[in-house]
Amino acid sequence: MTEAFTPPLAGIRVVELTHTILGPSCGMILADLGAEVIKVEPVDGDRTRKLKGFGEGFFGYFNRNKKSLAFDADAPEGRAVLVKLLQSADVMIENFAPGSMRKRGLGPQHLEKINPRLVYCALKGFLPGPYEKRPALDEVVQMMGGLAYMTGPSGRPLRAGTSVVDIMGGLFGAFGTVLALKTRERTGKGGLVESALFESVVFLMGQHLAITAMNGAPPPPMPERVSSWAVYEIFATSDGLQVFIGITSDGQWKRFCETFRQPELAADPRLATNNQRIEARPWLVPKVAEIFKRHTKDEIEALALEADISFSPVARPQDLFDHPHLLANGSLAPTTLPGGVRTRLPLLPFQMLGWRPPLVSDPPTVGQHNEQVLAEIGYDAAAIAALGAANMLGPRKAT
């Protein structure tokens, strides 16, 4: 790919009125694809900037490649700024509580009047229906949609270890937005795109619904599932670590027996096929566990690669910083987080035509692009200075 490659969304202006993960992840995807994403923040900054605990990394990860415009959108002067900005935009993203944008006069019908070409991306808990006015969170819909039930053992529902539904809802919002922009090329009009958390988790549950319909009985939680493969487990190693091994074909079983020097298992007629091995699991899995327990993690990895069977160490998130594959192919982009912390964070996980969506700019500081964006929508230096003097722009000056 040459440096002259034009990102697919170059020239598209997105106004992002979002917070936390659902909306910002949608905006990040569009920004990574080349759109100019202007993150509108209150004068004191997006509240996500101040989160602690598990939320401390939200802003730094989901707001790269964006511009920050911080102002008081509730004041008359700020409302005028917002209207001008939306008139200049191709897309608006919001993930506020159901009905809150309409109450502010910023619903789809209102914005269609000021900018008929605007694609309005609304990210909510539920698509239209009886539940559409309910508040929702990632964890709420994981419980409601059966994901938590399927993740933990019986009686102990467990949310997934990352904000999988928020991110998926944002991804589908971005996908719908791109399709709406494509449709606009034909019709000349924008319109409403909706993506929701609950329907996203239900989509993830589709395979479980299908097996329920086919078998006439619901599947058990994943920790208690009946595997389709005989050896598909986490095993302990001799150096106190854990590895996952998946042997999913008869050919892999033969290679495993050869490489790990198990001629008796290879010759056992009770283990000739995968289905026979599944029947033998009560005694076979402990036997295989003994074999792996004799080897270190590195030894198992080398033998698994030689046998061409699926292998992985049980990793922790921090192990990814130094993962050789990610470092070699540039999947982790050097990033400066709020507070000046330097690290490496994941890029979007795809390439198109040899192009990988890059990190162009770090997460912005509050109001970092105030003057630039205001000038682009028609404010001269005196008007910008007047907004600043009236404390309409962030970061707010001490008084």
Q: Which residues are catalytic?
A: 166
| Identity of the residue numbered 249 | S
Q: Per the structure block, which two tokens stand in for 207?
A: 């395979």
Cα separation, 104 vs 110, in Å, equals: 10
DSSP of 216-252: SSPPPPGGG---SSSEEEEEE-TTS-EEEEEE-SHHH
Cβ neighbours of 300 (radius 10 Å): 24
Instruction: Tell whether omega for the bond before 395 is within 30 degrees of 0, i.e. cis.
Output: yes
How large is the greatest C-alpha to C-alpha distance in the chain, in angstroms?
A: 87
CB hemisphere CA count around 218 (13 angstroms): 8
Q: How far apart are the first and last CA of the chain?
A: 52
Q: Per the structure block, which two tokens stand in for 35?
A: 């759109």
Q: Nearest-CA neighbor of 145 among 179, 115, 169? A: 169
3-state secondary structure of 196: strand
Torsions phi, psi of 4, nearest 5?
Answer: -80, -5
Sequence length of the chain is: 399
* Cβ neighbours of residue 303 closer than 8 Å, sequence gap 6 or more: 259, 260, 295
Q: Nearest-CA neighbor of 372 among 24, 29, 5, 36? A: 36
Name the E strands within 337-387. Answer: 342-346
